[in-house]
């Protein structure tokens, strides 16, 4: 069947940042889009993400290139709307535990491929970013001036305004959706638990950490390395910080309303799961994390949690993103990645390009699901 681009009906499963971004980019290209999600929009990883916009540290150059393109799209949005309280580019601050050599090696690596990376220390940190407690720092730290942060729930709300203006159809609280295939094995629609069946010419599975489960019945195996993680938000504080901080005991970023968002991984062993599937953590562990965060800020302000959310952080088994059309199931596309905050805008753009044009996007060449079946 040959379709004009503007007649293509695309079903997007997953109302996180990547599904919503893809849906909007598809609508911009003239597709008819239905966005189907299990519960509320943003109730997955995108509702509890540190959302540090970065390509810091070491990774494959293809992944670095994709992340830099991701940052580029946010910078464009920022340039067009410099006053958004949920998207800032005020830099990132990093130091490693105990070992200045690790920090220095990271700085050398970043500098070698042109990533904006300055080696700094407690004595001059104030020249780069305000209100950091120098006594909490290691002797060597890195300031990455080009980094920023986004609040994904706000981004989703912003994109959804355009989604509705462009005539997209949203089905929230649909329950678990599955991909329907026709007799030739081609994706032809979506079956939902609560909203019936929907026919489509293409289906995008953007279900975060559940993506491997959704494509498994299609005979597609994607290893899942998603750990359980937590994001804590605080009450407002009087000491404004600007940089996203990644330090040995706490990662901290500013959050709209003068609040902070805080995460790390050292407390993962304290997270348990009830018989009903609810994740829990003892409250003193949450406070311990906030006390660690407080040490990083000038004057050590008392930090109190306004709330915390726990769930899976999407990470494919080999750590690299999984993007693009499935060879085994024509018409079915996937998006499953860590760093999905950094990638949300670019991933949506490139996926929409691939879905509408039918041409594999070259930037996804090393990120296809088929790499897992080549062993």
Under the binding rule (CB under 6 A), the answer on residue 208 touching ligand FAD is yes
Report the residue from 10, 11, 14, 160 that binds ligand FAD according to the rule CB under 6 A: 14
Token pair for residue 36? 């189907």
Report the residue from 8, 10, 11, 15 that binds ligand FAD according to the rule CB under 6 A: 15
**Minimum distance, C-beta of residue 201 to ligand FAD, in the bound complex (Å):** 19
- Which region, judged by CB under 6 A, interacts with ligand FAD, from 83-91, 174-182, 282-290, 293-301? 174-182
Which is closer to ligand FAD, CB of 49 or CB of 294? Answer: 49
Which is closer to ligand FAD, CB of 43 or CB of 140? Answer: 43
Backbone conformation region of residue 212, classed left if phi is above 0, alpha if psi is from -120 to 50, else beta: alpha
Tell me, residue by residue from 304 to 343, as one string, x for binding to ligand FAD by CB under 6 A and - for no binding: ---------xx--------------------x-xxxxxx-
| Residues 337-356, interacting with ligand FAD (CB under 6 A) | 337-342
Under the binding rule (CB under 6 A), the answer on residue 39 touching ligand FAD is yes
Under the binding rule (CB under 6 A), the answer on residue 92 touching ligand FAD is no
**Minimum distance, C-beta of residue 124 to ligand FAD, in the bound complex (Å):** 25
Which is closer to ligand FAD, CB of 343 or CB of 356? Answer: 343
Which is closer to ligand FAD, CB of 37 or CB of 247? Answer: 37
Which is closer to ligand FAD, CB of 40 or CB of 97? Answer: 40
- Which region, judged by CB under 6 A, interacts with ligand FAD, from 38-46, 77-85, 98-106, 284-292? 38-46
**Minimum distance, C-beta of residue 266 to ligand FAD, in the bound complex (Å):** 13
Give the interface with ligand FAD as residue ranges (CB under 6 A). 13-19, 36-39, 43-46, 48-52, 152, 174, 176-177, 206-208, 210, 214, 229, 231, 263, 313-314, 335, 337-342
């Amino acid at each position: 069947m040959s379709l004009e681009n503007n007649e293509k009906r695309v079903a997007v499963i997953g109302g996180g940042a990547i599904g919503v971004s893809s849906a909007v980019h598809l609508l911009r290209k003239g597709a008819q889009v239905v966005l189907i999600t299990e519960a509320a929009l943003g109730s997955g990883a995108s509702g509890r993400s540190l959302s540090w916009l970065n390509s810091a540290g070491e990774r494959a150059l293809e992944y670095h290139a994709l992340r830099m393109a991701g940052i580029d799209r946010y910078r464009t949005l920022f340039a067009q709307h410099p006053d958004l309280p949920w998207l800032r580019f005020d830099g990132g601050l990093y130091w490693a535990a105990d070992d200045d050599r690790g920090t220095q090696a990271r700085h050398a690596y970043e500098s070698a491929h042109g990533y904006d990376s300055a080696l700094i220390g407690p004595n001059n940190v104030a020249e780069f970013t305000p209100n950091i407690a120098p006594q909490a720092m290691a002797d060597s730290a890195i300031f990455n001036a080009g980094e920023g942060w986004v609040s994904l729930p706000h981004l989703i709300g912003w994109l959804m305004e355009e989604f509705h203006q462009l005539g997209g159809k949203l089905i929230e609280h649909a329950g678990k959706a599955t991909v329907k295939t026709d007799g030739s094995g081609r994706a032809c629609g979506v079956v939902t638990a609560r909203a019936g069946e929907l026919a489509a010419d293409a289906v995008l599975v953007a279900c975060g950490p559940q993506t491997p489960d959704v494509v498994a019945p299609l005979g597609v195996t994607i290893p899942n390395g998603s750990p359980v993680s937590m994001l804590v938000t605080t009450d407002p504080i009087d000491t404004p910080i600007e940089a996203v901080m990644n330090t040995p005991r706490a990662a901290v970023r500013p959050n709209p309303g003068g609040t902070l968002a805080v995460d790390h991984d050292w407390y993962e062993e304290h997270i348990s799961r009830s018989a009903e599937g609810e994740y829990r953590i003892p409250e003193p562990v949450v406070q311990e994390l906030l006390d660690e965060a407080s040490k990083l800020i000038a004057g050590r302000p008392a930090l109190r949690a306004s709330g915390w959310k726990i769930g899976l952080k999407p990470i494919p088994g080999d750590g690299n993103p999984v993007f693009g059309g499935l060879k085994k199931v024509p018409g079915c596309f996937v998006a499953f990645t860590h760093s999905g905050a950094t990638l949300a805008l670019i991933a949506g753009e490139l996926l929409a390009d691939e879905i509408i044009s039918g041409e594999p996007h070259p930037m996804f060449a090393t990120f296809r699901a088929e790499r897992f079946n080549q062993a």
